[in-house]
Amino acid sequence: MAAGLGTRMKSNLAKVLHRLDGRPLINHVCETSLTLRPSSINVIVGHQAEDVKRAVTTELGDAKFTFPLQKQQLGTGDAVNSGKKLLKDRDSVLLVLSGDVPMISSKTLKALIAKHRRSRATCTILTVELDDPTGYGRVIREGGDFSRIVEQKDASDEEKSCREINSGIYCFDTEKLFQALAKVGNTNAQGEYYLTDVPTIFKKKGDKIALFLHDDKHEIEGINDRRQLAAMEAELRDRTITRLMLESGVTFIDPSSAYVSAKAKIGRDTVIYQNVTIEGRSVIGEGCTIRPGTRIVNSTLLDGVDIRDNCFITDSEIGNGCAVGPMAHLRGHAVMEDGSKIGNFVELKKTRLGKKSKASHLTYLGDATIGENTNIGAGTITCNYDGKNKHETHIGNNVKIGSDTMLVAPITVGDGAATGAGSVVTKDIAPNKLAVGAPARAIRSLEKKQDK
């Protein structure tokens, strides 16, 4: 269910589009659902329906998903009934989840489904006990068995004292569910059609209702306001960093100040300093050092990489034994091959820097391919944009680019060539030639004369 706006979020954005761990809430639930290998996943949409569809399918594809529309938000029963045309004739088990409960695990859902089948129940409800159940629908038992679910606003004082709550997660016999939904009314404090009325309808018919009491309250926590969202972000971050320290052998100098995505992977003996942010599906190898102020997004670092202070690395790859920064920027699928180095105030954009090549200071390399053992002098710029189009620069192996060189693309610098400081290179430089001036011109060969 993902149709609501979420008025308590005080936002123009639909609640399920707010982000946890850098991803929309609805995507967490949908990705967990995919691990169950269902025949289909029906995301009930309403507010900002197209944006919700786009968020899900952009990350997870559209092969398994359909998006029934709840035209008016008239309660959870009405929401599920929006999928009636697609589901009513299915002889199947239907799992109902909430789009704002992102921490539910596939392990728990598999156990819930197993109990539902084992019990031969028409409906199975996932419940938990809370010290403070205020705001949740209470699960009332009689003789240990299910009696009814009472919403907070409709509960008596005695019913409010019950600590077992409805998580909003259910298994249903699909065909019987939609038959029961036709009998649900809206004579309640909210004037809505409650899905919680369905188990009572089943019970009156003599159908079996099973209860699955879960022991992890954090998994079923919903997000209703920004305070809860922040608390869940902190909980997820703490779990992630603890797991990396205990299971992966990662050192955090100050765990309280680091942010690491739950999707990130970090190798043994890597050291993460304070105020480091690692986002998305980043992969960091063994024995790396990530120093303070660095942000890494959806990037791959191999082993023994040294990232110095205040670097920004996004959608890029860094090879074994490379050094980056301080204050360097990699973006646009930049690649650093093994042993290469970039220093302070160097930016790589859509550029491949070859093995053991260096750009140590104050340099912009965009749309460039650079060979091995090449040195790029301070202040070098690949002038890749002519006002209409981007052009490529190709620099060979064992090249020496002098300080403040402007390489006006498209251009090729051959193996073993060099430029003088302050050169403006507008024409290709042949291998082993030295070019100087503005515009640069080749003045002599750099090839060593062979002894006679």
Kindly state whether residues 367 and 440 are assigned to the same domain.
yes
Say if residue 184 is in the same domain as residue 328. Answer: no
**206 and 314 assigned to the same domain:** no
Mean pLDDT, all residues of the chain = 95
How much is the pTM? 0.89
pLDDT in tens, 187-198: 877 888 989 899
Task: Name residue 440's beta-bridge partners.
Answer: 437
Residue 200 within any structural domain of the chain: yes
**What pLDDT does residue 15 have?**
95
Q: Any idea what the CATH number is for the domain that residue 157 is in?
A: 3.90.550.10
Residue count (the chain): 452
Q: Is residue 67 part of a domain?
A: yes
In-domain check, residue 452: no
Q: Assess whether 159 and 35 both reside in one domain.
A: yes
- Please calculate the CA angle 339-325-307 and round it to the nearest 5 degrees: 70
User: Is residue 153 a contact partner of residue 165, using CB atoms and an 8 Å limit?
Assistant: no
Residues of the chain with pLDDT > 90, as a percent, come to 88
Contacting residues for 50 by C-beta, under 8 A, at least 6 apart = none
**Residues belonging to the active site:** 361
In a domain, 316, yes or no: yes
Let me know whether 189 and 238 are in one domain: no
Least confident interval from 38-52, 144-158, 239-253: 144-158
Greater pLDDT, 45 or 439: 45
- Residue 20's domain comprises 7-220
Helix (H) or strand (E) holding 140: strand 138-142
Which residue, 220, 239, 267, sits at the end of a domain? Answer: 220
- Are 212 and 218 a contacting pair, CB within 8 Å? no
Kindly give the residue spans of alpha helices, DSSP state H, lying in 88-196: 106-119, 157-160, 174-181
In a domain, 1, yes or no: no
Q: DSSP states of 293-337 as a string?
A: T-EEES-EE-TT-EE-SS-EEES-EE-TT-EE-SS-EEESS-EE-
- Residue 33, phi-psi category: left (phi > 0), alpha (psi -120 to 50), beta (remainder): alpha
List residues bridging with 385 in a β-sheet: 390
Report residue 452's pLDDT band, with 50, 70 and 90 as the boundaries: very low
Is residue 277 a contact partner of residue 295, using CB atoms and an 8 Å limit? yes
171 and 292 in a common domain: no
Give the pLDDT of residue 237: 96
> What is the torsion angle, in degrees rounded to the nearest 10, for the CA atoms of residue 398, residue 399, residue 403 and residue 406?
-150
> For residue 321, which phi and psi values (nearest 5 degrees)?
65, 20
Q: What is the CATH number of the domain that holds 337?
A: 2.160.10.10
**What's the distance, CA 266 to chain centroid?**
16
Same domain, yes or no, for 193 and 54? yes
Residue that has been written with the tokens 């603890």 in this structure: 242
Instruction: Give the domain-ending residue among 174, 189, 220.
Output: 220
The 10 Å Cβ neighbour count of residue 372 is 18
First to last CA, the chain: 84
| Bridging pattern class, strands 209-213 and 145-150 | unpaired
d(CA 393, CA 364): 12
How far is residue 253's CA from residue 58's CA, in Å, rounded to a whole number?
A: 36
- Closest by alpha carbon to 95, among 120, 124, 63? 124
Statement to judge: residues 53 and 16 lie in one domain: yes
How many domains, in total, are found in the chain?
Answer: 2
Residues 98 and 237 in one domain: no
Residue 2 lies in a domain: no
Q: Is residue 449 part of a domain?
A: no
181 & 253 share domain: no
pLDDT in tens, 196-233: 899 999 999 999 999 999 999 989 999 999 999 999 99
The reply to whether 400 falls in a domain is: yes
pLDDT band (50, 70, 90) for residue 449 = low
Residues 433 and 356 both lie in one domain:
yes
Q: List, for residues 17-26, the tens digit of each pLDDT value.
A: 999 999 999 9
Q: Which of 192, 220, 248 is the last residue of a domain?
A: 220
> Which tokens go with 197?
């009325």
Examine the domain organization and report whether 174 and 320 are in the same domain. Answer: no
3-class DSSP state for residue 152?
Answer: helix
Mean pLDDT of the 304-327 span: 98
Residue range 92-133, pLDDT digits in tens: 999 999 999 999 999 999 999 999 999 999 999 999 999 999
